[in-house]
Structure 1
Amino acid sequence: MTARDLGLPSRVPAPGLPERVTIWEVGPRDGLQNEDAVVPVEVKLEFLDRLADAGLTTVEATSFVHPKWVPQLADAEELLAGLTPRDGVRYPVLVPNERGLDRALAAGVRHIAIFASATETFANRNLNRTLDSQMAMFEPVVSRAVAEGLDVRGYVSMCWGDPWEGAVEPGAVVSVGRRLLDMGCSQLSLGDTIGVATAGHVAALVNAFTDAGTPVSALAVHFHDTYGQALANTVEALRHGVTTVDSSAGGLGGCPYAESATGNLATEDLVWCLDGLGVDTGVDLDKLADTSAWMATKLGRPSPSRVVRALRG
C-alpha cells in the first residue's frame, strides 16, 4: 500500500498538544518572492483561491515592498484588485515602511505585517538600518495602521541564528519582540530564517518570552527546514503553548537577503504531521496537495514537499 492509497496518516493523538492550530500560509508572498521568472498575476490569483478552497483561513497575499528589491511582487495592487475575498479568510500583506502602508490603505487592506530583525547585522543588510533605527521606521507604520483599525503582525527574523553573528541569545530576541508588541503589534512571528534552530533552543526562546510577561497566545513560529528540523521544532513550540504556525504550500520560499536560508516548512508536511497527532487545522490535505502539485507545474519543477511528492509524485 502506498502513501497515495493511504491518503491520510493514522490519527493517534499525543498528550500536551493544542486541540487546534492556525496555519498562517505564506506561500503566495514568502514562497513566490524568490522566483526568478515572474509568475503571472492570473496564476497567483488562482493559487490564492485554491489555498482558501483547501481550508486555509490566513493566506499572506503579497508585499508592498519596492519593486526594485522584489520584482516578483511588483503586481501587488493588480493582485489585490483582482482578488475575490472569501468569508472567514484573511489576506494579510507585508508592509516595509510608511509608503508601503499608504499603498496598503489605498488597496483596502485590513491586515498587515512588518518585518524586523533580531540582530544588528541582518537589520543592516535587510533594511539598511540599525536595531534601534528599524524601530524608528516601524513606529509610525504601526501607530497609523492601528489608528486606521488594521491588525498588525510583527515578524522577527534571525531568532535562533544569524549567518554573520552566529547563535542569537533569547534575550536579544525578546527585547526586539517586546518593542514591537508595545508599539501595537497583535502577534509576533518568530522566524528561524536560516533553519538552525533545534527543539531545546525553541523551548528556551518561548520560555524567555513568557517569563518576560508575553502571553504565549501572542507568539507564532516560522521555521525553515535547512537542517530538517522544522517539524520537530514546530511540535516543541506547540508543546509550549504556541498555536499559530507559519508554513508555505509546497515548501516554496526562503529569504532573498540570506543566502543560507532554504525553503520554508511545507504546509502539506505540517498538516500531515498535525493530522497524525490529532491536532485540527481545518485544512483539506488532498486539496492542498493538488494545489501545490499544480503550482509546481507552473514553476516548472517538482515540489520540495515530501508529502506532495508522496501523494502526487
Structure 2
Amino acid sequence: MAGATGRQPAPVRIPGLPERVTIYEVGPRDGLQNEKAIVPVDVKEEFVRRLVAAGLPVVEATSFVHPKWVPQLADAEELMTRLGPDGVALPVLVPNERGLDRALALGLRHVAIFGSATETFARRNLNRSLDEQFAMFEPVVTRALAAGVDVRAYVSMCFGDPWEGEVPIEQVVRVGKRLLDLGAGQLSLGDTIGVGTAGRVKALVAAFADADVPAERLALHFHDTYGQALANTLAGLEAGITTYDASAGGLGGCPYAESATGNLATEDLVWMLDGLGIEHGVDLASLAASSVWMAERLGRESPSAVVRALA
C-alpha cells in the first residue's frame, strides 16, 4: 500500500498484558450485512481472500440467515461454494437449525450463534423471549457438536440496550453461562451500541470469573460509537482477554439495533497491539490496502483512523 512502508508505532510492552492475541475478523459478515446496496459476490469473495492473505487467523465469512431479514447475505451458499476448500475453515453465523443445515450441507466446520442479553432485543432480533432463545439454540449447538463442528456464541447488548438502558452485569453472566453450558466453545461479549467503558469491561470479565468462566473462554466485541473501543480493548487486555472481534476498515453495525455504528476497526486494533508489542500475526499494510480496496467499491472513505492515516 502506498505510503504505508515503515509507518508503524514503536513497541513498548506494558507488564502483565498478554503476549499474543487472536483477532476474530467479522468484516465480511458483520461489516457488510447492513450495506443497503448489494455487494457483488465476487467482491465479497476477493475481500475474504484478501483478509486471509493479510494473516488474519479467523475470518467470519457470512451468515446463513433468511434472505428476507438480511438481503445482503442472500448469496451465502454461493460465496462459500466459490471459496471452496479454503472456506471450510472459515466460521459462519447460523441463526437457527435451518441455517445450520445449510452450513452442514457445504461441509463447513465452524459456526456461530447470536443471542441477546436483553428481553427487548431478543424479541426484535430473534422473535423470541430472553428465555425462549435457548430452546432455539439448544438443538443447533447439539447437532453441530455431534457433527464435529465447533460453536461460538455471541451475546449482544452486554453493556447497554437502546430500549432498556443499562443491562445488569448479572443478567449478562446468566445468559452467557447458559450459552456456554449448551456447549459453545467461546463466548463473544458484544457492546452492540458502543456505550461500554473501561471500568464496565473489567467488572464484566470479573463477574464471569466469579461464575467460573475463565478469560480464555471469552472474547470481546466492541463498537466505537462513542470512541471507546480501543480504551475498552486495553481494559480487556488488562483483564486477560486474548480474543477480540474487529472489522476491517471499521465496517458495519447491527441492522436491528438503533445507534449501532461501526465495529472496532481491525487496523486500529492492530496499530495498538503493535504499539504494545503484542503479537497477532497480521500484516497491517496488506490489511489496510484491503480496506481501501473495499471502501472504493462501497463508494466511501474507510471510517478507520489508521486506514485514513496510512492512505
Distance in 1 separating the partners of 2:108 and 2:220: 23
Deviations 1:130-173 (A, max 9, x none): 01110000000000101111000000000010011111111000
1:1-313 to structure 2, matched below 5 A, reads 4=4, 6-86=6-86, 90-312=89-311
For residue 290 of structure 2, what is the amino acid of its counterpart? T
| Contact 1:52–1:86 (Cα < 8 Å) also in 2 | no
Of stretches 214-223 and 3-12 in structure 1, the one that deviates more from structure 2 is: 3-12
Distance in 2 separating the partners of 1:277 and 1:249: 20
Instruction: Report how far residue 266 of structure 1 moved.
Output: 0.1
For residue 179 of structure 1, what is the amino acid of its counterpart? R
Distance in 1 separating the partners of 2:264 and 2:42: 25
Change (3 A) 1:213 1:19: same
Q: Give structure 1 stretches of 5+ with no counterpart.
A: none
Instruction: Report how far residue 86 of structure 1 moved.
Output: 4.6
Distance in 2 separating the partners of 1:253 and 1:29: 9
Change (3 A) 1:258 1:143: same
Distance in 2 separating the partners of 1:268 and 1:261: 20
Deviations 1:24-52 (A, max 9, x none): 00000000000111111111110011001
Instruction: Report how far residue 90 of structure 1 moved.
Output: 3.6
Instruction: Report how far residue 238 of structure 1 moved.
Output: 1.0
Instruction: Report how far residue 179 of structure 1 moved.
Output: 0.4
SS in 2 for 1:83: helix
| Contact 1:57–1:90 (Cα < 8 Å) also in 2 | no
| Contact 2:64–2:103 (Cα < 8 Å) also in 1 | yes
Distance in 1 separating the partners of 2:173 and 2:293: 39
| Contact 2:55–2:282 (Cα < 8 Å) also in 1 | yes
Distance in 1 separating the partners of 2:18 and 2:186: 18
Instruction: Report how far residue 128 of structure 1 moved.
Output: 1.0
Distance in 2 separating the partners of 1:7 and 1:259: 36
Q: Give structure 2 stretches of 5+ with no counterpart.
A: none
Of stretches 6-15 and 244-253 in structure 1, the one that deviates more from structure 2 is: 6-15
Distance in 2 separating the partners of 1:120 and 1:36: 27
Distance in 2 separating the partners of 1:40 and 1:186: 33
| Contact 2:22–2:244 (Cα < 8 Å) also in 1 | yes
Structure 2-normalised TM-score? 0.97
Instruction: Report how far residue 259 of structure 1 moved.
Output: 2.0
Deviations 1:78-111 (A, max 9, x none): 0000004459x94100000001111010011100
For residue 274 of structure 1, what is the amino acid of its counterpart? L
For residue 47 of structure 2, what is the amino acid of its counterpart? F
| Contact 2:91–2:112 (Cα < 8 Å) also in 1 | yes
Report the aligned-residue RMSD. Answer: 1.4
Moved over 3 A (4+): 3-6, 84-87
SS in 2 for 1:113: strand
SS in 1 for 2:209: helix
What is the number of residues matched between the two proteins? 310
Instruction: Report how far residue 5 of structure 1 moved.
Output: 6.4
- Identical amino acids, percent of aligned pairs: 72
